[in-house]
Structure 1
Amino acid sequence: MTFSIVGRSADGLSLGVAVASKFLAVGAAVPAAEADVGAVATQSHANLAYRVQGLAMLRTGTTAADTIAGLTAADPGRATRQLGVVGREGAGATFTGDECFAWAGGVAGDGYAIQGNILTGADVVHDMEAAWLASAEPSGGASLARRLLAALAAGDRAGGDSRGRQSAALFVVRRAAGYGGLSDVEVDLRVDDDPDPVTRLGELVELWELYFQKPDPATLLPLTGALAEEVAQRLESVGFADLAGWAGVENLEERLVEGAVDPLVLAHLRAATPDVTAN
């Protein structure tokens, strides 16, 4: 009923799941991940206990393949299950029970596992794998959220769930990468009921990057001279004495840097104050 990818970032620090399905609120059932531990996707008559049990096994250093072996061996309903697992290191692993509805199957490799059932065909998982591998280039590659999204979108373009589209989700964890550095949940986005959920999920990722992603230090602009004067004028025009106050109201506080301004914040400020002309 679902196609998903479980993945680990190139540096090994981020772990996550992207999933889509003709199923209401698939993000409430399929994904689970824990920073510095691993990630799990359970689907096709999903056994939700796999999420807690799988992470518990990964926490002890059990490999992805052995985690799947342990989970399915103890489950009398394993023939109807599908499962993907990635640990903090090594190859990912995927499992498809013999009684999953066709087309069903998966692929796995170093740091990823891709699986789906009731798909339009094998091209869905193979296109997802190709997109995942391609997004790692050039050196450094894209963020894990973007890599997972790219793979999910490739599966969607290839046909995805043969029954249609309804929901999608993206869940990524990384130590202290959440809001204010006080959570390990870096990305937690869901589209629960939409005719084009993967596209909508992509739009939400763009918003997440704007509001919550830390700015690129290489792009920061020194808040001095004429630029500082312009920013002050624009802030005054909307009733703020400093950038921090305005950014807090606009939900851009995660992009603030002392003594500098993020170009995205500056663009947002300029768009909000179109009638102000800097001296």
Structure 2
Amino acid sequence: MKKIVLSLLCVLGSLYLFAQDTFSIVAVDEETGEIGAAGASCVDGIAAFGGIQLLNDIIPGRGGVNAQAWVCLNPHINLVNAIDQMEQGLSPSEIIDWLYANDACSSQSFNPEYRQYGIVDFDPDGNARVAAFTGANADDYKGHITGPNYAIQGNILLGEEVLTQMEDGFVNTEGSLAEKLMGAMQGANIPGADQRCLDRGTSSTSAFLRVYSPDDEPGSPSLELSILEMPFGEEPIDSLQSLFDEWFTTNSVLDWQGKGSVQVFPNPVTNELQVYFQSPRSIETLTIYDTVGKVVMELSPNTVAQTHLQLDVSKLERGTYYLKFKSKESGIETIRIVKP
């Protein structure tokens, strides 16, 4: 899983013009063929336009586009054109070149330097391709990061750390593409990630996460989570995490192939950590260490054989930790967790 996009937009829709700050990610999973995106923005009234997911579109089995910064709505014409070019076979970098030469949005006089894009797809051999663009006139702080299968970009951000923490959350989260996208969003869960929400004490007002399986129909993703708009002072990424946890618990079946005998979720984790064992464990000791080997938490074991534990790690400071189990069945097992 490798590409993600962050977005900020200003929206021209019908007779309306909005200035929006958005951070987003778009990514693909070469192993499963999944394509997904996630993002958030601080925009009052965005629920009337269907939430911030309006910045993204995905062709199942082919690729996805995030189009942000100054954009037109009804239709989001540059996004529509990007998807059209993807359907015609252009690569992500070729699509960006085409969009730059053929900007169709009247906002800012059709000037492509006010736009921001993140694009990922699969080439004919199923390999991930990625490209991103940040126009010189998009609002600061602006920028993008690309990796082997993800593009992350944003504007009107608190700073570069919003992008780098999103990347850390994506790269360091173990599991499915959906889990990694949620990890990226938690990386941006800081007050003022979108500058305009700093006085609210939140990262944003609206957030989304979606994943398409290769056999999904367009417009019908396997996973679609949306926080259209939160009241003043309430964090949409926290609400998105709650929706994600509920979905994961009720719909996700753990795939143990090649993943070891212990899995944790979510990771990065904010409050409650779910631990799953491939086979029952009678836990004798359970300890959490920091990166220098200092014990930061010792938890009371439950010697009854079980396949699932729920751990409260809300008091841990931000950082990387190692969760060590000792059981009668499997001896010592260690897994890394991240607290954003």
Residue 245 of structure 2, aligned match among 202, 206, 216? 206
Residue 123 of structure 1, aligned match among 142, 151, 161? 161
Would you say the 8 A contact 2:53–2:207 is kept in 1? Answer: no
- Structure 2 residue matching 1:129: 3-state secondary structure: helix
Structure 2: unaligned runs, 5 residues or longer: 1-20, 104-109, 198-203, 257-306, 309-340
- AA aligned to 1:65 is S
More helix by percentage? 1
Deviation at 1:206, TM superposition (A): 1.3
* 1:196 aligns to 2:224 (yes or no): no
Would you say the 8 A contact 2:22–2:42 is kept in 1? Answer: yes
Match of 1:34 in 2: 59
Residue 137 of structure 2, aligned match among 95, 99, 106? 99
- AA aligned to 2:138 is C
Match of 2:70 in 1: 45
* 1:111 aligns to 2:149 (yes or no): yes
Q: Which moved more, 1:17-26 or 1:115-124?
A: 17-26
Match of 2:112 in 1: 78
Deviation at 1:211, TM superposition (A): 3.4
- Structure 1 residue matching 2:188: 3-state secondary structure: helix
Deviation at 1:117, TM superposition (A): 0.5
Partners of 1:114 and 1:16 in 2: how far apart?
12
Match of 1:148 in 2: 181
Would you say the 8 A contact 2:142–2:157 is kept in 1? Answer: yes
Q: Give aligned pairs, total.
A: 211
Where in structure 2 are the equivalents of 1:59-78 lying within 5 Å? 59-75=87-103, 76-78=110-112
Would you say the 8 A contact 1:4–1:116 is kept in 2? Answer: yes
Deviation at 1:144, TM superposition (A): 1.0
Partners of 2:255 and 2:212 in 1: how far apart?
22
Residues 235-256 of structure 1 show CA distances to partners (whole Å, capped at 9, x for unaligned) of: xxxxxxxxxxxxxxxxxxxxxx
Deviation at 1:171, TM superposition (A): 1.6
Would you say the 8 A contact 2:63–2:120 is kept in 1? Answer: yes
Instruction: Quote the RMSD (CA, aligned, Å).
Output: 2.4
- Structure 2 residue matching 1:185: 3-state secondary structure: coil
Match of 1:170 in 2: 209
Partners of 1:41 and 1:27 in 2: how far apart?
11
More strand by percentage? 2
Q: TM-score, normalised by structure 1?
A: 0.69
Match of 1:228 in 2: none
Residues 154-207 of structure 1 show CA distances to partners (whole Å, capped at 9, x for unaligned) of: 0223841011120000121113358xxx98511111101112001100111112
Residue identity over aligned pairs, in percent, reads 27
Would you say the 8 A contact 2:60–2:216 is kept in 1? Answer: no
Moved over 4 A (4+): none
Residue 22 of structure 1, aligned match among 39, 42, 46? 42
Residues 102-129 of structure 1 show CA distances to partners (whole Å, capped at 9, x for unaligned) of: 1011011211100000000011111111
Would you say the 8 A contact 2:35–2:212 is kept in 1? Answer: yes
Partners of 1:183 and 1:174 in 2: how far apart?
12
Structure 1: unaligned runs, 5 residues or longer: 136-140, 219-262, 265-279
Higher RCO (C-alpha under 8 Å, 6+ residues apart): 1
Sort the Cα spacing of 1:197 and 1:67 in 2 relative to 1 into closer, same or farther, 3 A.
Answer: same
Partners of 1:90 and 1:108 in 2: how far apart?
12
Partners of 1:73 and 1:183 in 2: how far apart?
28
